[in-house]
């Protein structure tokens, strides 16, 4: 078993008795050991970053703590008292609250009504204003929410704040956050971290699972690193930097550095002409956007979340109607198809309850060679095994994709779309929420297709990523493309000003 490094005894980490203690937690799913003797403490009033690759066991450990999974071995103590394992009710009663990546809100209800469901059985109809408890949390912890708005009217950042507020209103003093910044822009992440600091200052504890190392180092007091189901490091955040954490996360494996495509630029593959697109509220999300994408290019669409990038990508992918303008794909005789990777992997890109094999042919299930009057299972399984081998998916092809880690889910989606070597690839935030190794693998796959002569359009929130691999940057602000730049002739400060103000 790998040995975890302990916090130094210099006084930098807290010496108070632990609020939470996980001791030798082991959790198996069939032949897979997701947690292998996991042991760590959480001290009151601290923000703890729980780090590791997709599939390292982070979410499993949090689900065990929340009572969603019952471990095969081990124990948990809260304030020194043994916690009943495998019981969400017992975990909630002990003050443990978890905010999942996929929000658990009723979209047709208001924020106040969703909170009421958690704290008084939904008796919001008896009141004309938020409860005193909720009002105090809003004022004390820095939430920026309109609780009278319906959930479907809220931004993702506000929905997340509502989930956190609801969890705290239900009495949580140990807050578990699974990849909380994966759906947030850098600016929204800063607002979230300000709230988390206030929560910790109030005497509660926060565990944050994340892949954004620079962000968590900015907010965390302590760091726990997991690898292959085991804890390999525990210590103070001030003793770490991003480079040392990457080494702890991936072990002896090197993370490939990806550079932008080096192929010659060819013919036009995609032309967007004066395109306008509406959002879910019938408001103008994209206004008069025009650009061309040529063979051999990897173009990054950058901007603060909510400025029209996803709506533009959805329109190109055929998932959103066009209000004005047109999208033209000139098809040459050698045309090998179009790959579309939506931002929502499960539910849009993949069917959660179907197997890897079934998902590998979605959209092609009625076509040969998969369908010859009936579905040819052997051919489908061969295709799925080809995808899992080529893209490093660590699972049997019969496994439902909902059981996969985030990295493997994205690899299945990417593999299905790229296995036929398409000439046009459109990807909406393809590396969002992935660990450093998985993100590097997906960037390498996109660059490889551009080097092979395909045209690639991707949206990205990560300027470092865009500057590293893109041949061009299209900057969006309030639904408009305000700049078309080459990374070699631009700097991050200029792009940042364009993203936030629309002007250089």
Q: 375: domain CATH number? A: 3.40.50.300
> How many distinct structural domains can be found in the chain?
3
Whose tokens are 């507020």? That residue is 165
Q: Is residue 257 part of a domain?
A: no
pLDDT of residue 12: 47
CA distances from 354 to 101, 238, 346, 369, 399 (A): 20, 44, 11, 20, 8
Beta pairing partners, 459: 301, 428
pLDDT of residue 448: 93
Q: Is residue 132 part of a domain?
A: yes
pLDDT tens digits, one per residue of 166-214: 999 989 999 999 888 877 777 788 889 999 999 999 999 999 998 778 8
Q: Is residue 1 part of a domain?
A: no
Q: Is residue 256 part of a domain?
A: no
Do residues 433 and 457 both lie within one domain? yes
Do residues 413 and 429 both lie within one domain? no
pLDDT tens digits, one per residue of 76-92: 999 999 999 999 999 99
**Which among 327, 288, 359, 302 is positioned nearest to 424, based on CA atoms?**
327
pLDDT tens digits, one per residue of 435-474: 777 788 889 999 999 999 999 999 987 788 899 999 999 9
Q: What is the mean pLDDT of residues 24-43?
A: 92
Quick count: other Cβ atoms within 10 Å of Cβ 160? 23
Q: Which range, of 52-56, 126-130, 229-233, 305-309, averages the lowest pLDDT?
A: 126-130
- The torsion of the CA quartet 289, 494, 435, 41, rounded to 10 degrees, works out to -130
Q: Is residue 262 part of a domain?
A: no
Q: What is the mean pLDDT of residues 11-26?
A: 76
Kindly state the tokens that stand for 106. Answer: 């009723």
pLDDT of residue 438: 79
Whose tokens are 């990054």? That residue is 300
Q: What is the mean pLDDT of residues 324-331?
A: 91
pLDDT of residue 124: 57
Query: Which of 137-151, 192-206, 399-413, 458-472 reaches the highest mean pLDDT?
Result: 192-206
What single-letter DSSP state applies at residue 151?
G
Domain's final residue, options 374, 390, 419: 419
Contact assessment for residue 145 and residue 111, using Cβ atoms and an 8 Å cutoff: yes
pLDDT of residue 163: 93
Do residues 126 and 173 both lie within one domain? yes
Do residues 305 and 203 both lie within one domain? no
Distance CA 215, CA 209 (A): 11
Quick count: other Cβ atoms within 10 Å of Cβ 473? 22
Identify the helix (H) or strand (E) that includes residue 234: strand 230-236
Do residues 333 and 482 both lie within one domain? yes
pLDDT tier at 126 (50, 70, 90 boundaries)?
low
Q: The domain containing residue 502 runs over which residues?
A: 267-337+422-504
Across the chain, mean pLDDT equals 87
Do residues 228 and 93 both lie within one domain? yes
DSSP string, 51-91: E--TTSSHHHHHHHHTTSS--SEEEEEETTEEPPTT-HHHH
Do residues 399 and 468 both lie within one domain? no
Do residues 214 and 352 both lie within one domain? no
Contact assessment for residue 160 and residue 103, using Cβ atoms and an 8 Å cutoff: yes
Please, what sign has the CA dihedral across residues 120, 64, 224, 180? negative
Q: What is the mean pLDDT of residues 344-360?
A: 91
pLDDT tier at 217 (50, 70, 90 boundaries)?
confident
In this predicted structure, the answer to whether residue 5 has a pLDDT above a threshold of 60 is no
DSSP string, 296-365: T-EEEEE-STTSSHHHHHHHHTTSS--SEEEEE----TT---EEEE-S-TBTTTB-TTSBHHHHTTTT-T
Do residues 327 and 373 both lie within one domain? no
Distance CA 488, CA 466 (A): 11
pLDDT tens digits, one per residue of 165-176: 999 998 999 999
| Residues in CB range of 170: below 8 A, 6 or more apart | 92, 97, 118, 119
Domain's final residue, options 367, 395, 419: 419
Distance CA 65, CA 61 (A): 6
- The torsion of the CA quartet 372, 377, 378, 381, rounded to 10 degrees, works out to 130
In this predicted structure, the answer to whether residue 8 has a pLDDT above a threshold of 60 is no
Distance CA 394, CA 441 (A): 14
Burial of 111 (0-12, 13-18, 19+ CB in 10 A): buried
Distance CA 261, CA 453 (A): 10
Distance CA 58, CA 52 (A): 7
Do residues 110 and 243 both lie within one domain? yes
Q: What is the mean pLDDT of residues 310-326?
A: 95
């Amino acid at each position: 078993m790998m040995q975890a490094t302990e916090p130094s005894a210099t006084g930098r980490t807290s010496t108070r008795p632990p609020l939470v203690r996980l001791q030798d937690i082991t959790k198996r799913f069939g032949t897979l050991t997701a947690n292998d003797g996991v042991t760590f403490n959480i001290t009151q009033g601290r923000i703890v970053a729980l780090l590791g690759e997709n599939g390292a066991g982070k979410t499993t450990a949090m689900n065990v703590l929340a009572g969603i999974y019952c471990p095969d071995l081990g124990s948990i103590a809260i304030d020194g008292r043994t916690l009943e394992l495998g019981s969400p009710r017992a975990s909630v009663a002990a003050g443990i609250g978890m905010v999942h990546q996929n929000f658990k809100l009723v979209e047709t209800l208001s924020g106040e009504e969703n909170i009421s469901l958690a704290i008084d059985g939904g008796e919001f109809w008896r009141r004309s204003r938020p409860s005193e408890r909720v009002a105090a949390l809003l004022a004390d912890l820095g939430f920026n929410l309109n609780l009278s708005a319906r959930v479907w009217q809220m931004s993702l950042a506000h929905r997340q704040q509502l989930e956190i507020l609801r969890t705290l209103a239900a009495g949580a003093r140990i807050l578990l956050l699974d990849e909380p910044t994966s759906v947030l822009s850098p600016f929204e992440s800063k607002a979230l971290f300000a709230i988390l600091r206030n929560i910790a200052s109030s005497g509660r504890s926060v565990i944050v699972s994340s892949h954004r190392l620079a962000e968590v180092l900015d907010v965390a007091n302590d760091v726990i690193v997991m690898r292959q189901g085991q804890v390999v490091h525990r210590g103070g955040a001030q003793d770490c930097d991003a480079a040392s954490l990457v080494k702890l996360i991936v072990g002896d494996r090197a993370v490939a550095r990806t550079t932008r495509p080096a192929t010659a630029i060819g013919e036009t593959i995609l032309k967007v002409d004066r395109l306008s697109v509406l959002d879910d509220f019938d408001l103008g999300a994209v206004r008069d956007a025009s650009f061309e994408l040529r063979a051999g290019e990897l173009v990054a669409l950058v901007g603060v979340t909510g400025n029209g990038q996803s709506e533009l990508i959805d329109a190109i992918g055929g998932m959103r109607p066009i209000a004005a303008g047109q999208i033209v794909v000139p098809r040459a005789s050698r045309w090998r198809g179009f790959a579309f990777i939506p931002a929502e992997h499960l539910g849009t890109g993949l069917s959660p309850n179907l197997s890897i094999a079934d998902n590998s042919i979605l959209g092609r299930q009625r076509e040969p060679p998969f369908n010859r009057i009936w579905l040819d299972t052997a051919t489908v399984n061969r295709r799925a095994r080809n995808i899992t081998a080529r893209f490093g998916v660590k699972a049997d092809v019969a496994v439902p994709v909902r059981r996969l880690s985030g990295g493997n889910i994205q690899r299945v989606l990417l593999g299905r779309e790229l296995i036929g070597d398409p000439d046009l690839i459109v990807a909406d935030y393809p590396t969002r929420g992935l660990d450093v190794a998985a993100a590097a693998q997906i960037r390498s796959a996109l660059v490889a297709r551009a080097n092979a002569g395909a045209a690639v359009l991707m949206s990205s929130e990560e300027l470092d990523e865009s500057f590293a691999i893109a041949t061009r940057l299209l900057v969006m602000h309030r639904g408009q493309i305000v700049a078309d730049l080459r990374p070699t002739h631009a700097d991050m400060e200029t792009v940042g000003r364009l993203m936030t103000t629309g002007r250089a």
